[in-house]
């Protein structure tokens, strides 16, 4: 008989209980014991849901107070000295200090978990010699097994991925690994003693390009770990991509099970068909998507499983999710107002459990055992095929008629910028901001009251207009050259537009963890996307009416609108991106028609959408760039297009950035000055660019001369005529008390540079 399992369950609590409890501990409102109680309830609810669905192998230690990589840092005692001395085990105060920083030490670096929107804390391998310094995995294994009345399946990040995801390697990787392995050996042996039958050991870095030297690390690590006496069997788990060129190495490792992602691409199935599978291993068949929200097509997924069963005996198959369900919201039933036509198509974590159980039954007992489920599922998809909500003919027609001209601006950059300068008449080193101004308590409370119905539409609109007028006036006063309206009407840059576009659903409770206690609610793209009505024109033209200076129209770009959403799977992503681009193009053209001379189309998510394998980069960048161009090319040469990106690492994608053909880009730079200098020393960039000079992640007010230095250094690799002066990112999360003095310093720095520039030019 096949078995069923998942790789991990959401852990923030169905009503974000963990977020609330963790934040309450931080602010001293509850004790650590109360947090531990909440955490235990969340874990038990997860185990109960899986047991109720009939899952065979139920994970333990997939829970985390903050992040599973941070948990591994504690397990191995790799706590950097700046967080103070650590006793036998790492206490919660130190744990949260590493996550968030404290008065003495900044936090560990936070970075993206592969190509998901989850972020992990980066281990530092110069932190000392690894030693066992946490009992979390043993405690949660014991708790789960006692609760379930049978052994749970503990989950652990594997040693090689842990090593490769870290930084500050002061020795050879091999030497670091050799220090790490004794800790893992102890863990294996103690889990074995405690009765664990299997350990799911995650090695997701095996789906990336790996050098021969790195592959050797896996071989030596697993040769050693499998020699531990009385250990649990090892399910070596990979996810997010296929094994590709690493197949042979992985299949040859002496572990008892290998878990593969069969959802992301057809490649793992092709590899399986080509090479077969060892008869002494279990195959973890990840056939149910753990990171998107669409119900499986039962008939198709069962067929895929049957094909897999042609290579591996069913009793050696675990029917699984493709990755941990931590990337999904909890339960579709928590969305009472969800569109009745779309809801049956959706599966969140809880629905995934029954899908996996049904598939396992179908594989073990044969199709006939699940006929009624297959029929009901087919009916859902048939209804979807006929839905005019999903398939919007005019949008499809417009897509068919697209020609190359739609992806091209009217004139080349040099001609455009000259025309733009004649109308905009901006000084050298023009100053601007990225769009949002502080969303104060007052703004958030007005929105909350409006959503609850205690503030009328008219009063809320009036309130937003007052804030807008205030911020416009204030920007003029301090001497900014290009103004913004402040984005007070937006909670989130994607949700604001998703809410107004057809083809998108926004949810109320479908939270997923982004990092630590931060959760996001990605909208769901279910159908053809189009814009029924203008979205920003009224607000932007109102703001423009208050000033003679140019007001930037502010939009979220097509790639970001796609990458920060759950996307339909019945159409290629590139096509969905172009539909969104067309909707935005309509907005851009309307803004131009309404007299707006500068339009900024933000693409903070462009880089993070890069595929996990280098070989796939070009294809992605090609369609991503085309989507941006489709959104931005409907305007005349005289209209200036800006874009904003929240990072400075673009040495490796600079050609794509240039190909966006934006007249001006702004990027993050204040903390990563050297990367920028490197990028522009290596490549010539021909358009205009604002390297951020004000770190918006800190409450610190930067001094004028510090910003001057940054601008001077930028002026050594860029032509001064190319340079704009702006903060790193939007100011939404900052307070007015720091923002205004900082911007005044920024304007003063720009003036100083203008002066130098004029002296140099001999004016």
Query: By the criterion CB under 6 A, which residues form the site for ligand GLN?
Result: 434-436, 487, 493, 554, 602, 604, 644, 646, 729-730, 732
Q: Which is nearer to ligand GLN, 360 or 556 (CB)?
A: 556
**133 near Zn ion, judged by CB under 5 A:** no
CA distance 375 to 379: 6
Residue positions counted in the chain: 763
First to last CA, the chain: 85
Residues 249-278 that bind Zn ion (CB under 5 A): none
CB of 647 to Zn ion, least distance (A): 8
- Scanning 80-88, 211-219, 271-279, 640-648 for contacts with Zn ion by CB under 5 A, the matching segment is 640-648
Handedness of CA 467, 472, 475, 478 (dihedral sign): negative
CA distance 142 to 746: 56
**729 near Zn ion, judged by CB under 5 A:** yes
CB of 729 to Zn ion, least distance (A): 3
Q: Which is nearer to ligand GLN, 43 or 734 (CB)?
A: 734
**183 near Zn ion, judged by CB under 5 A:** no
CA dihedral (164, 170, 174, 179) in degrees, to 10, reads: -100
Please state the three-class secondary structure of 444-496 as a single string.
HHHHHHHHHCCCCHHHHHHHHHHHHHHHHHHHHHHCCCCECCECCCCCCCCHH
Q: Among all chains, which residue has been given the structure tokens 């926004």?
A: 506
CA distance 564 to 578: 15
Q: Which position among 327, 697, 700, 757 bears the catalytic label?
A: 697
Q: Are 347 and 355 in contact (CB under 8 A)?
A: yes
CB of 599 to Zn ion, least distance (A): 17
Out of Zn ion, ligand GLN, none, what residue 203 binds, judged by CB under 5 to 8 A for its kind, is none
Q: Which is nearer to Zn ion, 191 or 646 (CB)?
A: 646
CA distance 24 to 32: 10
Q: Which residues of 215-248 are buried (b: 16+ CB within 10 A; e: fewer)?
A: bebbeebbebbeebeebbebbbbbbbbbbbebbe
**646 near Zn ion, judged by CB under 5 A:** yes
Out of ligand GLN, Zn ion, none, what residue 435 binds, judged by CB under 5 to 8 A for its kind, is ligand GLN
Among 616, 639, 619, smallest CA distance to 553 is for 639
**559 near Zn ion, judged by CB under 5 A:** no
CB of 493 to ligand GLN, least distance (A): 5
Out of ligand GLN, Zn ion, none, what residue 609 binds, judged by CB under 5 to 8 A for its kind, is none
CB of 743 to ligand GLN, least distance (A): 13
- Scanning 107-115, 178-186, 222-230, 642-650 for contacts with Zn ion by CB under 5 A, the matching segment is 642-650
Q: Is 697 an active-site residue?
A: yes
Both tokens of 358, joined, read 């049904």
Q: Which is nearer to ligand GLN, 436 or 669 (CB)?
A: 436
Please state the three-class secondary structure of 499-527 as a single string.
CCCEEEECCCCCCEEEECCEEECCCEEEE
- Scanning 323-331, 393-401, 604-612, 630-638 for contacts with Zn ion by CB under 5 A, the matching segment is 604-612
Q: Which is nearer to ligand GLN, 188 or 464 (CB)?
A: 464
CB of 336 to ligand GLN, least distance (A): 30
Out of Zn ion, ligand GLN, none, what residue 568 binds, judged by CB under 5 to 8 A for its kind, is none
Q: Are 370 and 358 in contact (CB under 8 A)?
A: yes
| Radius of gyration of the chain measured on its C-alpha atoms | 27
Q: Are 714 and 428 in contact (CB under 8 A)?
A: no
- Scanning 228-236, 337-345, 465-473, 639-647 for contacts with Zn ion by CB under 5 A, the matching segment is 639-647
Q: Which is nearer to ligand GLN, 323 or 646 (CB)?
A: 646
Q: Which is nearer to ligand GLN, 236 or 646 (CB)?
A: 646
Specify which residues 556 forms β-bridges with.
602
Mind giving me the DSSP string for 36-77?
Answer: HHHHHHHHHHHHHHHHHHT-SB-EES---SS-HHHHHHHHTT
Both tokens of 746, joined, read 């920024």
Out of ligand GLN, Zn ion, none, what residue 554 binds, judged by CB under 5 to 8 A for its kind, is ligand GLN
The count of chain residues that interact with Zn ion, using the rule CB under 5 A, is: 3
CB of 578 to ligand GLN, least distance (A): 22
CB of 467 to ligand GLN, least distance (A): 15
Out of ligand GLN, Zn ion, none, what residue 602 binds, judged by CB under 5 to 8 A for its kind, is ligand GLN
Q: Which is nearer to Zn ion, 362 or 604 (CB)?
A: 604
CA distance 289 to 325: 9
Binding positions for Zn ion, rule: CB under 5 A: 604, 646, 729
Catalytic center residues: 697
């Amino acid at each position: 008989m096949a078995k069923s399992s998942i790789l991990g369950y959401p852990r923030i609590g169905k009503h974000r209980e963990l977020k609330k409890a963790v934040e309450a501990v931080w602010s001293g409102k509850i004790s650590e014991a109360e947090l531990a109680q909440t955490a235990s309830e969340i874990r038990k609810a997860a185990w109960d849901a899986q047991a109720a669905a009939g899952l065979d192998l139920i994970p333990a230690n997939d829970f985390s107070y903050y992040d599973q990589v941070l948990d591994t840092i504690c397990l191995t005692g790799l706590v950097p000295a700046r967080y103070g001395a650590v006793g036998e085990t790492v206490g919660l105060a130190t744990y949260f200090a590493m996550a968030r920083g404290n008065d003495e030490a900044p936090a560990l670096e936070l970075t993206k978990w592969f190509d998901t929107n989850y972020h992990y804390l980066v281990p530092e391998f110069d932190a000392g010699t690894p030693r066992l310094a946490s009992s979390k995995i043993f405690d949660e294994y014991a708790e789960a097994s006692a609760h379930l009345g049978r052994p749970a399946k503990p989950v652990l990040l594997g040693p090689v991925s842990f090593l490769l995801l870290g930084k500050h390697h002061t020795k050879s990787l091999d030497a670091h690994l050799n220090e790490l392995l004794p800790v893992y050996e102890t863990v294996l042996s103690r889990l074995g003693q405690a009765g664990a039958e299997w350990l799911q050991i995650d090695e997701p870095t095996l789906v990336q390009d790996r050098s021969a030297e790195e592959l050797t690390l896996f071989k030596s690590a697993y040769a050693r770990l499998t020699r531990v006496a009385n250990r649990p069997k090892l399910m070596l788990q990979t996810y997010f991509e296929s094994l590709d060129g690493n197949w042979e190495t992985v299949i040859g490792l002496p572990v008892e099970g290998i878990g593969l992602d069969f959802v992301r691409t057809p490649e793992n199935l092709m590899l399986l068909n080509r090479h077969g599978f060892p008869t002494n291993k279990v195959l973890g068949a990840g056939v149910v998507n753990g990171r998107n929200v669409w119900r499986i097509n039962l008939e198709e997924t069962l067929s895929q499983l049957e094909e897999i069963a042609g290579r591996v005996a069913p009793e050696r198959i675990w029917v699984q999710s493709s990755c941990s369900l931590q990337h999904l919201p909890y339960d579709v039933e928590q969305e009472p107002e969800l569109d009745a036509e779309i809801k049956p198509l959706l599966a969140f974590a809880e629905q995934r459990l029954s899908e996996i159980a049904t598939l396992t039954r179908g594989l073990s007992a044969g199709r006939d055992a699940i006929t009624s489920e297959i029929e009901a599922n087919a009916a859902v998809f048939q209804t979807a095929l006929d839905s005019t909500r999903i398939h919007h003919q005019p949008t499809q027609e417009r897509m068919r008629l697209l020609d190359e001209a739609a992806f091209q601006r009217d004139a080349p950059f040099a001609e455009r910028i000259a025309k733009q300068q004649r109308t905009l008449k901006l000084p050298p080193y023009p100053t601007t901001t990225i769009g949002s101004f502080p969303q104060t308590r007052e703004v958030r409370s007005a929105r909350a009251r409006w959503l609850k119905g205690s503030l009328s539409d008219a009063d809320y609109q009036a309130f937003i207009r007052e804030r807008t007028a205030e911020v416009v006036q204030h920007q003029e006063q301090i001497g900014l050259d290009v103004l913004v309206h402040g984005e007070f009407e937006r909670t989130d840059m994607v949700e604001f537009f998703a809410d107004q576009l057809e083809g998108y659903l926004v949810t109320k409770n479908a939270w997923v963890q982004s990092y630590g206690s931060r959760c996001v609610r990605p909208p769901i793209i279910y159908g053809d996307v189009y814009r029924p009505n203008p979205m920003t024109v009224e607000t932007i033209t109102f703001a423009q009416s208050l000033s003679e200076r140019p007001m930037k129209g502010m939009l979220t770009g097509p790639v970001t609108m796609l990458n920060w959403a759950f996307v339909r799977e019945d159409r290629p992503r590139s096509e969905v991106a172009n539909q969104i681009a067309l909707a935005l193009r309509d907005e851009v053209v309307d803004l131009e028609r309404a007299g707006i001379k500068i339009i900024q189309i933000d693409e903070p998510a462009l880089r993070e959408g890069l595929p996990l394998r280098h070989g796939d980069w070009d294809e992605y960048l090609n369609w991503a760039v085309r989507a941006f161009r489709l959104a931005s090319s409907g305007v005349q040469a005289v209209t200036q297009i800006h874009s904003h990106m929240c990072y400075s690492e673009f040495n490796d994608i600079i050609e794509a950035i240039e190909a966006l053909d934006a007249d001006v880009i702004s990027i993050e730079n204040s903390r990563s000055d050297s990367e920028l200098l490197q990028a522009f020393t290596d490549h010539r960039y021909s358009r205009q660019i604002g390297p951020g000079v004000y770190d918006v992640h800190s409450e610190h007010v930067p001094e004028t001369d510090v910003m001057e230095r940054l601008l001077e250094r930028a002026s050594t690799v860029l032509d001064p005529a190319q340079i704009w002066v702006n903060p790193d990112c939007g100011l939404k999360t900052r307070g007015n008390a720091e923002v205004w003095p900082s911007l005044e310093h920024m304007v003063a720095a720009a003036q100083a540079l203008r002066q130098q520039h004029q002296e140099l030019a001999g004016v």
